[in-house]
């Protein structure tokens, strides 16, 4: 199945000359603006790292250029097998498209697989969202992002912090461009109007500003039945009702007696626009997602991050609070018990550390300059 592009090739680039390799919804969302600006110069190939009708498929088929669904589902594989399958898919796409360059985004197994395939094929590699570091080698994503950065020919870093990380590792300054983070463009593109947000909130039986939105998906939080139960109990103790999206990777670990958590509603994965609608109308958020930490700086909501470490330190102390333990997380929730209105007011006047709405344009300008 191919989706034909509605646009024309970007000026200075040939038709279908740039291969964009994706595997998860966050990659697609963050690359949409770049893909649209590239027009018919871009071809998107999906590896199938995640395959879920809401999480990935609908996002993929809506991309505004020719797309190649590679018909492999990597979701049930181990990490090593995901990377191996992703390399095979990426090489298949490279052979089919014969691109001038390959673009990968972020720190997924797909990004690493695409980078390895591009290097093997001697095709220039561009890394969008380069230079993020948690300095925690227990995270598979840290392995991926470091390796991709060191294989890339053009490094599109969201912030000066990211640029400094790359320079510290000996990467060439001339290969780095600071562009801002394309998540800012994505939130602006997908955020529903106030009337639509109100309908989404109402459909969940919630009251605007009187609930907390939560997401969990990282292995350190959801690969253990005991840890899942602890986190569900924590969320149930929150000062406001909590809506928790259940990622496919841990759906089977939800306890049979989940109904005892009376302050907690578990929901299936949401369309991105519906997710943003709830986020915008929430009082606060709880997450282990990297992307949501960034989105919090655009939506202007206080966000509790339950993780051992984060590769997005720019938002800590303003939009986000990092809690490494359950007890630290519980202390944050207690602080929210008196309300988050004052904090939200402060955040409304706080600029996002990830830049403005021109990030995708700056990325494309850097790509065009690189290929000139």
Give tens-digit pLDDT for 117-127. 999 999 999 99
Tokens of 156: 């599109």
Query: Which is catalytic among the residues 190, 204, 217, 357?
Result: 217
Maximum mean pLDDT: which of 77-81, 254-258, 359-363? 359-363
Segment 352-368 shows an average pLDDT of 96
- How far is residue 115 from each of residues 236, 238, 371, measured CA to CA in Å? 41, 42, 17
Question: Are the CB atoms for 183 and 357 separated by under 8 Å?
Answer: no
Q: What is 313-337 written as a DSSP string? A: GGGBTTTEEEE-SHHHHHHHHHHHT
φ, ψ at 142 (rounded to 5°): -65, -40
Q: pLDDT tens digit string along 5-19? A: 446 888 889 889 999
pLDDT (average), residues 258-270: 92
pLDDT at 40 over 70: yes
What is the average per-residue pLDDT within 177-205? Answer: 97
Q: Can you read off the two tokens belonging to residue 242?
A: 């909590």
CA–CA–CA angle 20, 23, 29 (5° rounding): 70
Check pLDDT > 70 for residue 188.
yes
3-state DSSP call for residue 159?
A: coil
The 10s digit of each residue's pLDDT in 285-337 is 999 999 999 999 999 999 999 999 999 999 999 999 999 999 999 999 999 99
Residue 78 binned pLDDT confidence (cut-offs 50, 70, 90): confident
Of the chain, the end-to-end C-alpha distance in Å amounts to 32
Q: Strand 176-178's sheet: what is its strand order?
A: 66-69, 42-46, 18-22, 101-105, 125-128, 154-157, 176-178
Q: Residue 235 — very low, low, confident or very high, per pLDDT cuts 50/70/90?
A: very high
Please compute the mean of the pLDDT values over residues 330-357 and round it to a whole number. 96
345 falls in which pLDDT band (50, 70, 90)? very high
| Furthest C-alpha separation in the chain | 61
Q: Which pLDDT score, from 0 to 100, does residue 359 have?
A: 97
Residue 1 has pLDDT above 50, yes or no: no
Confidence of residue 341 (pLDDT cuts 50, 70, 90): very high
Q: Which domains does the chain have, with CATH numbers?
A: 18-181+356-371 (3.40.50.2000), 189-348 (3.40.50.2000)
Percent of the chain's residues with pLDDT above 70: 91
Mean pLDDT, the chain, whole residue set: 91
pTM: 0.92
| Helix or strand run (H / E) with residue 177 | strand 176-178
- Residue 264: what are its φ and ψ, rounded to 5°? -130, 125
Distance between CA 262 and CA 357 in Å, rounded? Answer: 40
Catalytic residue list contains 217: yes
């Amino acid at each position: 199945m191919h989706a034909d592009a509605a646009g024309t090739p970007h000026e200075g680039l040939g038709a279908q000359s740039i291969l964009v390799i994706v595997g998860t919804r966050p990659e697609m969302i963050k690359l949409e603006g770049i893909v649209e600006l590239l027009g018919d110069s871009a071809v998107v190939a999906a590896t199938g790292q995640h395959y879920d009708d809401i999480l990935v498929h609908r996002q993929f088929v809506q991309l505004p250029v020719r797309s190649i669904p590679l018909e492999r589902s990597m979701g049930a594989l181990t990490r090593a097998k995901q990377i191996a399958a992703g390399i095979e898919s990426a090489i298949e796409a490279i052979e089919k498209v014969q691109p001038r360059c390959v673009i990968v985004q972020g720190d997924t197994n797909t990004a690493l697989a695409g980078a390895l395939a591009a290097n093997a094929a001697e095709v220039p590699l561009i890394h969008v969202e380069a230079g993020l570091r948690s300095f925690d080698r227990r995270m598979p994503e840290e392995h991926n992002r470091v390796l991709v950065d060191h294989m890339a020919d053009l490094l599109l870093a969201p912030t000066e912090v990211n640029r400094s990380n790359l320079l510290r590792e000996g990467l060439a300054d001339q290969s780095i461009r600071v562009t801002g983070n394309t998540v800012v463009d994505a939130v602006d593109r997908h955020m529903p109007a106030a009337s639509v947000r109100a309908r989404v909130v109402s459909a969940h039986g919630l009251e605007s500003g009187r609930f907390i939105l939560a997401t969990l998906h990282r292995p350190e939080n959801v690969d253990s039945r005991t840890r899942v139960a602890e986190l569900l109990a924590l969320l149930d103790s929150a000062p406001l009702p909590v809506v928790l999206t259940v990622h496919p990777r841990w759906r089977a670990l939800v306890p049979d007696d989940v109904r005892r958590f009376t302050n907690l509603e578990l929901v299936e994965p949401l369309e991105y626009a519906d997710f943003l609608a709830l986020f915008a109308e929430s009082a606060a958020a709880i997450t282990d997602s990297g992307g949501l930490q960034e989105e919090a700086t655009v939506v202007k909501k206080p966000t509790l991050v339950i993780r051992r470490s984060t590769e997005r330190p720019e938002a800590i102390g303003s939009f986000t609070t990092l809690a490494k333990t359950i007890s630290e997380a519980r202390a944050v929730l207690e602080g929210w018990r008196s309300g988050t209105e004052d904090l939200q007011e402060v955040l409304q006047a706080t600029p996002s550390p990830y830049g403005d709405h021109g990030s995708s344009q700056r990325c494309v300008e850097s790509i065009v300059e690189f290929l000139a």
